[in-house]
Amino acid sequence: MLRITELKLPLDHTEAELKTAIAKYLGIAEADIASHLVYKRSFDARKSQMQLAYIIDLDVGSLEKKLLAKFKDDSHVLPTPDTSYHFVGQAPAQLSHRPIVVGFGPCGIFAALILAQMGFKPIVLERGKKVRERTQDTWGLWRKNTLNPESNVQFGEGGAGTFSDGKLYSQIKDPRHLGRKVLTEFVKAGAPEEILYIAKPHIGTFKLVGMVEKMRAEIESLGGEIRFQQRVDDLILEDTPDGNKQIRGVRVTELGVEGHPSSEILSEHVVIALGHSARDSFAMMHERGVFMEAKPFSVGFRIEHPQSLIDKARWGKYAGHPILGAADYKLVHHAANGRAVYSFCMCPGGTVVAATSEEGRVVTNGMSQYSRNERNANSGMVVSINPSDYPGGAMAGIEFQRALESHAYVLGGGNYNAPAQLVGDFLAGRASKDVGTVEPSYKPGVNWTDLASALPEYAISAMREALPEFGKKIRGYDMHDAVLTGVETRTSSPLRITRGDDCQSLNVRGLYPAGEGAGYAGGILSAGVDGIKVAEALAQDLLS
């Protein structure tokens, strides 16, 4: 196969015109192209005309050698690299040992899937409920102000990304194309094929729910087991002669059984893929002496604008073109006080959601459907913070987050409504009294107030500096009626459960900290990739 990169065509080109352009570029007849497929499609807006830029893989049969020689000095024509996934091993027919995977978010799903595909029949323990039941509980907070601390936006089948925009791109280095394996499995589970080739794919909430169920079914069909409402509340550890520990299993609280009995499940290989909100589990691991350390994260607000304003600023005369869809953006400003202010988890045509997993706290995040056709664009506008802002060791970041979330709950009125303020009032330093032209989408509702006390002063002043700067990049971004809703605290894990090159905890053998909660991923795709890496390391250890 041959690969052509940076082949550019106008937005409205036809399928036939793509083939013509390929043939023209290579100087061959269209009939010489046995087949071609789009590997990647992105937008190129560098000139005044918006274009589509393609990476194409094609089969030209026996012409391939000749063409490679002809284009030997053209870096846009090369042999197609192998991006397919190769398993690192296969389990023996007689399994003596089943690994445990704790958490069934994207990281746990992929760890379990890869282990199952290699024949290791993993046991998955997930504290939350199956995704359909979980959906009802999640809507309970959004519609009726009722939180279920064990079944919500953060906890349950599918993990934190289930009720989300489902953005599936990441900036991680991925020389082995593991991200492609994640996307390929998503397509097998019902995601639209386009996620394999468009530059910034997303799938939206409803599709994710069905996909998660299909992936569960595949793991089970390969001999894996997924046990819901099983919260891991303790690790069974044994001291080793070198002063470290070896994991021997986990203690589980059975939340779905009356009286919540506890039981033990033994295994010497445990993947711990908890997500960033499992604060009780982090505390348990900290008490057990598992090595962990504080790491930087970010806090801020959600900001909402009319989607049409973002489309116009980003796409200009092309706004509304069906191939472009709702526009996203990425913004960053380095404030005079040394803080970086940046857009986080931008959701075009979506809604702001209540994302707390703890009672008496308010946390914001964003989600959308595949169509991205809600009226508002929303994004986190967050400020970087460092462990020096919350001294006190590995667990101090969680207390820092909790204090902000509890205060936001009070500012919101003490009923899970979120505190909100118009951008104009935020910049002028006065409380907002009522909605302007942008209707906030946060459910159950908002309480208009002054957000100045919702974050540390350095974050507020950095944001006040950043907003007019962002307005220069996206005209209208600092419009008076844009809505700020607080607080966005769960941007990533405030700690890292550090692991070695073998993906095992630095001081507990057999324990594989993974995904976002362990500080090794940030987003659905990177969490899935990390799940694969950890599954591979675990399999290699089992096979060695």
Residue numbers of the site for ligand FAD (CB under 6 A)? Answer: 102-108, 125-128, 153-156, 159-161, 163-167, 231-232, 273-275, 278, 281, 345, 353, 355, 365-367, 515-517, 521-525, 527
Amino acid at position 399, single letter: E
* Least gap, CB of 185 to ligand FAD (angstroms): 14
The separation between the first and the last C-alpha atoms of the chain, rounded to the nearest angstrom, is 36
**CB atoms < 10 A from the CB of 500, how many?**
11
* Least gap, CB of 51 to ligand FAD (angstroms): 27
Give the residue with the Cβ less far from ligand FAD, 128 or 412: 128
Cα 296 to chain centroid, rounded: 17
Strand order of the β-sheet with 77-79 is 35-44, 51-59, 2-10, 77-79
Give the residue with the Cβ less far from ligand FAD, 307 or 432: 307
Nearest to 364 by CA among 336, 349, 345: 345
Give the residue with the Cβ less far from ligand FAD, 13 or 227: 227
* Least gap, CB of 249 to ligand FAD (angstroms): 14
Give the residue with the Cβ less far from ligand FAD, 90 or 373: 373
Give the residue with the Cβ less far from ligand FAD, 68 or 284: 284
Element (H, E) at 457: helix 457-473
Per the DSSP assignment, residues forming a β-bridge with 344 are 380
Amino acid at position 307, single letter: Q
Give the residue with the Cβ less far from ligand FAD, 103 or 510: 103
Evaluate whether 513 touches 505 at the Cβ level (below 8 Å): yes
* Least gap, CB of 516 to ligand FAD (angstroms): 4
| Number of alpha carbons in the 13 Å side-chain half-sphere of residue 32 | 17
Q: State the residue for tokens 């060695």.
A: 544
Burial class from Cβ neighbours inside 10 Å (0-12, 13-18, 19+) for residue 172 reads: middle
Cα dist. 544→90, 123, 324, 528, 538 in Å?
12, 21, 49, 24, 10
* Least gap, CB of 79 to ligand FAD (angstroms): 31
* Least gap, CB of 146 to ligand FAD (angstroms): 18
Q: State the residue for tokens 């009286």.
A: 259
Give the residue with the Cβ less far from ligand FAD, 300 or 522: 522
Nearest to 516 by CA among 188, 31, 110: 110
* Least gap, CB of 176 to ligand FAD (angstroms): 19
Burial class from Cβ neighbours inside 10 Å (0-12, 13-18, 19+) for residue 453 reads: middle
* Least gap, CB of 524 to ligand FAD (angstroms): 4
Give the residue with the Cβ less far from ligand FAD, 155 or 426: 155
Give the residue with the Cβ less far from ligand FAD, 57 or 185: 185
Amino acid at position 276, single letter: H
Nearest to 448 by CA among 410, 423, 476, 420: 420
**CB atoms < 10 A from the CB of 31, how many?**
7
| Interatomic CA distance for residues 266 and 9, integer angstroms | 58
* Least gap, CB of 273 to ligand FAD (angstroms): 5
Nearest to 109 by CA among 242, 220, 250: 220
Give the residue with the Cβ less far from ligand FAD, 285 or 466: 285
* Least gap, CB of 518 to ligand FAD (angstroms): 8
